[in-house]
Structure 1
Amino acid sequence: MLIKNYKKIAKDKERKIVLEMIENGLQAIQPEKIINSKIKFDQQKNLLSINQYQLDLNKFKRIFVFGIGKASFKATQALEKILGQRINDGVLIDTHPKKLKYIRTFQGTHPLPSNKNKIATKKLEKLLEKTTKDDLVIGIITGGGSALLCNYRVTLKNLIKIFDYLLKSGANIEEINTIRKHFSKIHGGWLAQKIYPATGLSLVISDVPSNNLSFIASGPTYLDKTTLKDAQKIIHRYHLSAIERLSEQMMETPKEKKYFRKIKNILIGDNHTALQAMTQTAQKKHIKKIKIIQRGLKGEAKKCGEKIVNLIKKEKPSTVFLLGGETNVKVKGNGIGGRNQELALGALRNIEPDIVLASFASDGRDNTDLADGAIIDFSTKRKAEKLNLSIQDFLKNNDSYHFFKKTGDLILTGQLDSNVSDLTIVYKKSLTK
């Protein structure tokens, strides 16, 4: 079981139902499971099939593989088992990779880039230098690739400063990655330019709520439609005067279509994969109304939590909302927590006896290695009152982790190989016995 503290937090029947949905949702998005369900290989014909797309491997002299992102090791490992010795060489950059037989693996850092990431990225760039028009380059691209791929026009120190400002300002992932692409020499389609003139196939597992391929891992092999002007507007929007001087080093991303004609980007997994698995669990539990809101998590976390609770209050008993997406947190305090814990704490203000809510990160890390998220119900509110915990004070200090540690409602999984943005379940149970 991926939920390590299941027995401790599964205090009643309704919580067990919600936790079972979480468990099955997380199991469905494990990278090796996605690869094995989406990719089929006919060894006799040497034909690779991904969804409806087919690729005749007989057409290529050599096959190179790369993987980037926090979910890339397990996915690339599964792909290596499928293709075996047909792989001539490869480079993988992940946070916790192990050795592979045909692909060189490099450990990088996340969420902040580092010299490790720079060195690993150079290895990938060097690999791509030797490709020709007769070669095939297969990439596994997952969330976290934005930080793990590292070749920028500014120093690491300044780069970290830029993204620290953006995160604290409340900028969303698409705004952050728009700026990243214009400081980068490898995101925003630059990697596609390095693959050219080889044929490219990018298999993408999305951690971006919109599933816009241009923003997943900052779109290294995708034709970028954002512009330098867009990036500059974001800097002004958030009044980021501290990085305006650095913005002079931004450049336009490559727009020449020749670099992208021979590259196919295919989405193979996203938070809908988890939402579907959770739906199946809800159906087995005979929940009468199940509503998927794939992009329902957006805006400020604590306000989003309140809104979700208010929405389900209007529904009849035996209703569940399953939401995916990504909120943001405006950091004003010095506490510990993450988007999902803050969402749950915001929701707790309006919780009622017939509602159970759980919010969690699909990678097992809600901004901290200490927790994946939180599960709440009316008993959480009662315990907080008994312990004299002020919801408002903990929200003000952005300290949702310590609040839920005291009430015993943290969800603990440890870091997972999956990464498809955040997920929330809100369940209106029946109070009749």
Structure 2
Amino acid sequence: MTWAEMAPHDVLMQLYRAALDAADPLQVIPPLLPPPPLGRTVVVGVGKAAAAMAQAVEAHWQGPVSGVVVVPEGATRPLRNIRVLTGSHPVPDASSVRGGDALLQAVSGLHSDDLVIALVSGGGSALCAKPADGLTLEDKQSITKALLLRGASISEINTVRRHLSAIKGGRLAAAAYPARVVTLLISDIPGDEPTLIASGPTLPDASTCADALAVLQRYGITHLPAVLESLQAGRWESVKPGDARLAANTHAVVASAWDGMQAASRKAASLGLACHILSDAMEGEARDLAKAHAAIALSVAQHDVPFKAPCVLISGGEATVTVRGKGRGGRNTEFALAMALALKDQKGVQRILALSAGTDGLDGKADAAGAWINDQTLALGAQRGLSALQCLDGNDSASFLDAAGTLVHTGPTFTNINDFRAVLIL
């Protein structure tokens, strides 16, 4: 079947599913498992994909294995010998602290002939938490909430997290020394910098307390002077590159947004549809990214520039949302609704559809992975008595798109390679 024989919405969903399949832990983990050690094998994992990654290890590991992984509610998987704990996301709570303690306990007392397999994926920063000495959980919660509400990027947030933690920024690997640590990562970070994924619990960190302090000052987060003073004094430095405790360790990114987009591109080709990858690392306010995508799509629809229609444009990365209201939504539904508004009444709009969805199956407070839109979306929501502009301004994008019937529901996908966006121009 070719794309022209399918409903346009189904074309977008097939591309999204192809991206998810490219990051399936059961497929990407086994080829990169290390040889068994002379001693014990301990698995530690954190993130939205950690349980599925551990499931892949158990299915293919030769010999005994033990350990613990920490995942969000709904992302558990049945495991035989590896414990599964749940933590809180995106703001840590007491369950996150219990998860952090369990990970540290799992790697304590190991020897040089033991092996730690660390399974790290997005979401891990909040799921496991152990405040640095002199810091409280309430302090960390307050700072995380403030950064999220102000629209800080994930790299900025994780730079702060690495310096307020007793487990992140390489500290988990240091606790495992002298055991060797092999870290396998599924990246949800634009640019795929390994130390940023889940705030790098097993990797050395080149950033400094001064960098973390600069982020807090940039966003005007000054309500905890003791935290600012400790950062200024360098009291919570992370484990740095060149640290002898991490010298024998290795790491590999096993799946990323780029992998997902390449898979989606191959799927488009198999359907006979031209596909153009814009970027795998697009960041910024969701509504601003939506306007940029809309402008490119309209140029294609109206002028066949910079690409010739029919075609599909795909992009990845992580948008941010500055929270102004108390509505229901997330960065993907906000992108979708903002794009529908940017396309409204424009020449060629009837030829454009778009989808934006999180590859973890979750999008903020949307109770969905994301949403798709076409030229009828705004009218359908309005028929239910909702104003698209008011919903966007109140961060209530999911309520509008739910009324329009265009939310994308997947449930937890057990992976996480950031957001996936596809724009189809007929």
TM superposition shift of 1:24: 2.3
Q: Match of 2:329?
A: 337
Alignment of 1:30-49 (within 5 A): 30-36=24-30, 38-39=31-32, 48=33
SS of structure 2 residue aligned to 1:113: coil
Q: Match of 1:318?
A: 310
TM superposition shift of 1:388: 5.6
SS of structure 1 residue aligned to 2:284: coil
Q: Deviations over 1:308-367 (max 9, x none)?
A: 110122222112111110010111111110000001111112321111100001111100
* Partner Cα distance (1:107, 1:335) in 2: 26
* Partner Cα distance (2:87, 2:220) in 1: 31
Q: Match of 1:375?
A: 372
- Of 394, 407, 410, 2:407 maps to 410
* Partner Cα distance (1:76, 1:287) in 2: 36
TM superposition shift of 1:98: 4.5
Q: Which amino acid aligns with 1:73?
A: A
SS of structure 2 residue aligned to 1:61: coil
**Structure 1, 153-162 or 198-207: larger mean CA deviation:** 153-162
Q: Does 1:278 align with 2:275?
A: no
- Of 91, 107, 114, 1:112 maps to 91
| TM-score, normalised via structure 1 length | 0.88
Alignment of 1:19-418 (within 5 A): 19-36=13-30, 38-39=31-32, 48=33, 55-57=34-36, 60-87=38-65, 89-95=66-72, 96-153=75-132, 154-250=135-231, 251-255=236-240, 256-288=242-274, 290-315=275-300, 316-351=308-343, 352-368=349-365, 370-387=367-384, 389-418=386-415
TM superposition shift of 1:12: 7.0
* Partner Cα distance (2:417, 2:108) in 1: 31
Whether the 8 Å CA contact 1:26–1:274 is kept in 2: the answer is yes
SS of structure 2 residue aligned to 1:274: helix
* Partner Cα distance (2:310, 2:78) in 1: 47
* Partner Cα distance (2:354, 2:203) in 1: 37
Q: Deviations over 1:72-99 (max 9, x none)?
A: 1011111111114332x31222224355
Q: Which amino acid aligns with 2:44?
A: F
Q: Deviations over 1:12-34 (max 9, x none)?
A: 72112112112222233232232
* Partner Cα distance (2:395, 2:103) in 1: 39
Whether the 8 Å CA contact 1:357–1:424 is kept in 2: the answer is yes
* Partner Cα distance (2:248, 2:22) in 1: 31
Q: Match of 1:425?
A: 422
Give the root-mean-square deviation of aligned CA atoms. Answer: 1.9
Identical pairs, percent: 31
Q: Return closer, same or farther for 1:100/1:296 CA change in 2, 3 Å cut-off.
A: closer
Whether the 8 Å CA contact 2:91–2:145 is kept in 1: the answer is no
Whether the 8 Å CA contact 2:358–2:420 is kept in 1: the answer is yes
Whether the 8 Å CA contact 2:44–2:106 is kept in 1: the answer is no
Whether the 8 Å CA contact 1:293–1:321 is kept in 2: the answer is yes
User: Which residues of structure 2 form unaligned runs of 5+?
Assistant: 301-307, 344-348
Whether the 8 Å CA contact 1:191–1:220 is kept in 2: the answer is yes
Q: Deviations over 1:134-165 (max 9, x none)?
A: 21111111111111221112222221111000
SS of structure 2 residue aligned to 1:224: coil
User: Which residues of structure 1 form unaligned runs of 5+?
Assistant: 1-10, 40-47, 49-54
* Partner Cα distance (1:224, 1:126) in 2: 22
SS of structure 1 residue aligned to 2:29: helix
Whether the 8 Å CA contact 1:85–1:102 is kept in 2: the answer is no
Q: Match of 1:3?
A: none
TM superposition shift of 1:56: 4.2
How many residues align? The count is 401
TM superposition shift of 1:253: 1.0
* Partner Cα distance (1:245, 1:312) in 2: 49
* Partner Cα distance (2:284, 2:102) in 1: 38
Q: Which amino acid aligns with 2:271?
A: K
SS of structure 2 residue aligned to 1:129: coil
Q: Deviations over 1:68-123 (max 9, x none)?
A: 11111011111111114332x31222224355323233222222222222223222
Q: Return closer, same or farther for 1:149/1:366 CA change in 2, 3 Å cut-off.
A: same
Whether the 8 Å CA contact 1:369–1:414 is kept in 2: the answer is no
Q: Deviations over 1:149-204 (max 9, x none)?
A: 21112222221111000001110000000111111111011112112211110000
Whether the 8 Å CA contact 1:323–1:423 is kept in 2: the answer is yes
Whether the 8 Å CA contact 2:354–2:374 is kept in 1: the answer is yes
